[in-house]
Amino acid sequence: MKIAFIGLGNMGGGMAANLAKAGHEVRAFDLSEEALARAKDAGCATFGSARAAAEDCEAVVSMLPNGAIVRDVYTSDIIGQAPQGTVFLDCSTIDVATAKDVIALAENAGYDMVDAPVSGGIAAANGGTLTFMVGGTEEAFERAKPILEAMGKAVIHAGEAGAGQTAKICNNMLLAITMIGTAEAMKMAERLGLDPQKFYEISSQSSGYNWSLNAYTPLPGVGVESPADNDYQGGFATALMLKDLRLAMEAAETSDSAVPLGSRAASLYEDFAGAGNGGLDFSAIIKTYS
C-alpha cells in the first residue's frame, strides 16, 4: 500500500520503518530534518509537507505530540487533500474530544478514520510489538487493522470514535494509581522492618498482586528486573505519564466522573515532574517516599 506517515519522532520513526519493512511504500513527513533523514535511511520516501505526502496515498498514519497539532495537520493538509477513499489512522495520544471531532470532520468529508493510540514505548515501536486500542466504525477498523498489524502484536477494537483514547487514558490512570500504591506499601513495609524482597514475595502472590508490583517492581534489587535496576532510565518517562494523567483529568471533568485517586495521582506526578524528574521512569515516584 501507499501509506503517508506524519510524525517521525521517537515512536513514529520506528513505526514508519516497520511499515517500509513490511513492503509498504511509505511517504514520510516530519517538521524535523533529522527525523526525515532517519526515515529515508529506513527506506521511506520523504516529502516537504504533510499535504505532499498525502496527495497520492491509500492510507495516512500520524504519530504526533498532541491534539492541537493533530487537528491542525488533518484539517489543513489531509482532509480534502488525500484522495477520496483514503483511510486515516491517528496513533498519537490525544484528548478524547479532539479525537472524536477530527474523526467526525474526516467522516463528513467521506473518509474512514480511527483513533489508534498505543501501549508500549520506543522499544515496542522499533520492534513492531505495540498494542493498539482502536476507536471507530467496524468498517474503518477492518481497513486499519492490517496496517496496524505490521507495527504491533495486538490490535483491539475498543468501540466507536474516541474509544481508543478513552481506553488508553483510563488504563494509564489506573497504572499511575497502582504504581503509587505499590510504592507506598513497599516503603511502609520497609520502615516497619520488613525486608522489601519478602514483601514482594508475599504480596505478589497475595491480594496485593498487581502489574506495578509484579512486573515492574519500583525498588532496585527487589522483585523482577525493571527500570529501577537501571537508575530509573528508559521505560516510561514521568513526563509522558503526566501528559496522560492530564488528559485523564480533562476527560473526567467533561464526563463528570469522580476520580479522587486519579486526581491525587495526577498532582503527585505533577510535583514529581516539576522537581526535575520528568525524564526518569514513572516508577521513580517511589523516591518521594523516604
Catalytic residues: 168
**Total residues found in the chain within this entry:** 290
- Cβ at position 191, least distance to ligand NAD in Å: 33
Helix (H, G, I), strand (E, B) or coil at 281: strand
In the complex with ligand NAD, which residue's Cβ is closer, 64 or 148? 64
Q: Per-residue x/- mask for ligand NAD, residues 80 to 99, rule CB under 6 A? A: ------------xx------
Of 26-34, 39-47, 175-183, 208-216, the window that binds ligand NAD (rule: CB under 6 A) is 26-34
Q: Applying CB under 6 A, does 7 fall inside the site for ligand NAD?
A: yes
User: Which letter does DSSP use for residue 80 in this model?
Assistant: T
Answer yes or no: are the C-beta atoms of 46 and 39 closer than 8 Å: yes
DSSP 202-219: HHTTSTT--HHHHTS-SS
CA distance 51 to 27: 11
| Helix residue spans in the chain (DSSP H) | 12-21, 33-41, 50-54, 67-73, 96-108, 122-127, 138-149, 163-191, 196-203, 211-214, 238-254, 260-272
Q: Of 61 and 265, which has the nearer Cβ to ligand NAD?
A: 61
Task: Write the DSSP assignment of 141-164 as a string of letters.
Answer: HHHHHHHHHTTEEEEEEEESTTHH
Residues 111-150 that bind ligand NAD (CB under 6 A): 118, 121-122
Q: Is 255 in the site for ligand NAD (CB under 6 A)?
A: no
Binding pattern for the stretch 47-66 against ligand NAD, x by CB under 6 A and - elsewhere = ---x------------xxx-
Q: Which residue is nearest to ligand NAD (CB)?
A: 9
Distance CA 225, CA 245 (A): 25
Q: According to CB under 6 A, which one of 16, 35, 87, 155 is a site residue for ligand NAD?
A: 35
Nearer to ligand NAD, 118 or 222 (CB): 118
Given candidates 4, 6, 147, 222, which one binds ligand NAD under the rule CB under 6 A?
6
Question: How many residues sit close enough to ligand NAD to count as binding (CB under 6 A)?
Answer: 25
Of the listed pieces 4-12, 187-195, 197-205, 209-217, which binds ligand NAD according to CB under 6 A? 4-12
Give kind and range of the element (H or E) at residue 91. none
Tell me: does residue 68 bind ligand NAD (CB under 6 A): no
Distances in whole angstroms, Cα of residue 165 to Cα of each of 1, 256, 284: 26, 17, 25
> Look-up: residue for cell 499535504?
51
- Binding positions for ligand NAD, rule: CB under 6 A: 6-12, 29-32, 35, 50, 63-65, 69, 73, 92-93, 118, 121-122, 240, 243
